């Protein structure tokens, strides 16, 4: 799985003008499934995201996890993370999982996250979404799980 993680002061996702998911302090997680991904890969991604120490402690060091700060997690599907921009000016997306697998793995990420963390919100798989965020730091971290 390919993921992009952003530490946020707040974030929300809208579909057709309606808010479908919103958090205050926490993490915005964009996820893209690849064809070889499995539910175990999705679970490892969630474990990493929940435990990654990227929130400041009392000394201002990145030493606290999402779970430590009791922050929110907003998960958004984004197949464009698999973009191939190597040939020409139009990106290709054949490295992304087919839609049925992508949806299943996105739902698995959400299931595991909701089992392990009390505040999980989500976008809508395959929808045209508007994502609003205030990046805190800014802190933006790419992740790749295999």
User: Which one is catalytic: 55, 78, 125, 140?
Assistant: 78
Active site residue 78: yes
- Residue 107 phi, psi (nearest 5): -65, -35
Do 138 and 28 form a contact (C-beta atoms < 8 A)?
no
Joined tokens for residue 50: 């929940």
User: Which one is catalytic: 6, 30, 55, 79?
Assistant: 79
Active site residue 80: yes
User: Which one is catalytic: 80, 93, 130, 140?
Assistant: 80
Active site residue 6: no
Residue with tokens 């395959």: 126
**Can you tell me the distance from the alpha carbon of 113 to that of 121, in angstroms, rounded to the nearest whole number?**
10
Do 67 and 58 form a contact (C-beta atoms < 8 A)?
no
Catalytic residues, by residue number, are 78-80
């Amino acid at each position: 799985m390919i993921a992009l993680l952003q530490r946020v002061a707040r974030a929300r996702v809208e579909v057709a003008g309606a808010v479908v998911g919103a958090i205050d302090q926490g993490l915005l997680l964009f996820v893209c499934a690849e064809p070889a991904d499995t539910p175990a890969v999705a679970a490892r991604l969630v474990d990493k995201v929940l435990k990654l120490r990227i929130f400041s402690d009392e000394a201002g060091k990145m030493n606290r996890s999402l779970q430590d700060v009791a922050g929110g997690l907003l998960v958004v599907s984004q197949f464009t993370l698999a973009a191939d921009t190597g040939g020409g000016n139009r990106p290709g997306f054949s490295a992304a999982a087919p839609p049925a697998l992508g949806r299943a793995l996105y739902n698995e990420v959400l299931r595991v996250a909701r089992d392990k963390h009390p505040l999980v919100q989500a976008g809508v798989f395959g929808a045209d979404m508007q994502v609003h965020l205030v990046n805190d730091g800014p802190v933006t971290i790419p992740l790749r799980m295999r």
